[in-house]
């Protein structure tokens, strides 16, 4: 199946190269799953990648939570990840002014050199997107920024007005891949989709086949419902990495997401 047939307006209206790359990978792998690879050892990460690599379109990392991180091991890990035909997404949630965010893309972790996607809050204003895009340009690479428009955790401070401002600024920003939306509340998500329109992606955490409350205020909704409500990528962590059989589970999430996309 050709991505333009599967994605329709999202394909035609997306201008960022990274958006088309994601949509192409999702079709090749028939999966809208981004694995939140929240393991805190390098061996744990390698093991998880080997198990679920074939079933996911993107791999989300928190590079700063790994106990035995080293630059050498990390670059080996990124090479291994790329062999599975997936995008690498560092969920750094940048929030500082543009020039500092640009510098934070370098530093010890050198996120600009291996990430395809990063997250950012827009609390400091729209220049953060230019800062992050400049960092990728500094090393001759391209990437896409996901702005946090909603969050999945209870009691978060991203009000409807704040979300509307993020969307208004984000949809007109060339370097923005799309938005993080709340996958645990399909009705809020559908509203977000109507505000965003077709030109940007919505990626959603807070998704699990077992819906309800998670640890420390996390909330979960159903993956198929999230896609039907307008999510383009389901971000799944513990639903996969804590399962007895992560590979079988990842396959199940992939099938649910792909089926919902075709239905949508």
Cβ pair 201, 57 in contact under 8 A:
no
**Look-up of token digits 């996969």:** 240
Q: How far apart are CA 81 and CA 68, in angstroms?
A: 18
Enumerate residues 6+ apart whose C-beta is below 8 A from 25: 57, 58, 85, 86, 87
HSE value, Cβ hemisphere, 13 Å, CA-based, for 214: 20
Determine whether 82 is an active site residue. Answer: no
Which residue has the closest beta carbon to ligand S5P?
Answer: 237
Q: Which two three-digit tokens encode residue 61?
A: 């990392």
Least Å distance between CB 2 and ligand S5P? 30
Q: How far apart are CA 172 and CA 68, in angstroms?
A: 40
Binding of residue 211 to ligand S5P (CB under 6 A)? no
Least Å distance between CB 127 and ligand S5P? 22
Site string for ligand S5P, 38-77 (x = CB under 6 A): x---------------------------------------
Residues 180-199 that bind ligand S5P (CB under 6 A): 180
Q: With contacts defined by CB under 6 A, name the span among 19-27, 106-114, 133-141, 149-157 that binds ligand S5P.
A: 149-157
Binding of residue 234 to ligand S5P (CB under 6 A)? no
Nearer to ligand S5P, 205 or 224 (CB): 205
Pure H helices in the chain: 3-7, 9-13, 17-29, 42-52, 71-82, 98-104, 127-138, 160-171, 186-196, 223-228, 238-241, 246-263
Task: Indicate which residue of 20, 82, 93, 169 is catalytic.
Answer: 93
Binding of residue 232 to ligand S5P (CB under 6 A)? no
Q: How far apart are CA 216 and CA 223, in angstroms?
A: 20
Q: With contacts defined by CB under 6 A, name the span among 3-11, 121-129, 193-201, 233-241 that binds ligand S5P.
A: 233-241
Q: Which residues bind ligand S5P (CB under 6 A)?
A: 36, 38, 91, 119, 151-153, 180, 205-206, 214, 218, 235-239
């Amino acid at each position: 199946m050709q991505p333009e047939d599967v994605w329709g307006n999202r394909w035609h209206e997306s201008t960022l190269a990274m958006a088309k790359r994601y949509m192409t990978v999702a079709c090749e792998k028939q999966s809208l799953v981004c694995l939140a690879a929240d393991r805190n050892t390098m061996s744990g990460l390698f093991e998880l990648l080997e198990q679920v690599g074939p079933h996911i379109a993107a791999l989300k990392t928190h590079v700063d939570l790994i106990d035995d991180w080293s630059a050498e091991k990390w670059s080996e890990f990124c090479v291994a990840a790329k062999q599975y035909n997936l995008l690498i997404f560092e969920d750094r949630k940048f929030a500082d002014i543009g020039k500092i965010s640009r510098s934070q893309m370098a530093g010890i972790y050198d996120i600009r050199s291996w990430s395809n996607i990063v997250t950012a809050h827009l609390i400091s204003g729209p220049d953060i997107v230019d800062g992050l895009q400049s960092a990728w340009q500094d090393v001759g690479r391209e990437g896409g920024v996901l702005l946090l428009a909603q969050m999945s955790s209870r009691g978060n401070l991203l009000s409807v007005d704040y979300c509307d401002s993020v969307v208004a600024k984000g949809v007109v920003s060339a370097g923005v891949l799309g938005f993080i939306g709340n996958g645990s509340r399909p009705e809020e998500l559908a509203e977000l989709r109507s505000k965003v329109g077709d030109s940007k992606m919505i990626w959603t955490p807070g998704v699990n086949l077992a819906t309800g409350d998670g640890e420390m205020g996390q909330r979960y909704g159903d993956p198929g419902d999230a896609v039907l409500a307008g999510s383009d990528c389901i971000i799944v962590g513990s639903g996969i990495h804590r399962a007895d059989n992560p590979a079988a589970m990842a396959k199940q999430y992939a099938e649910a997401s792909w089926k919902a996309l075709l239905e949508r």
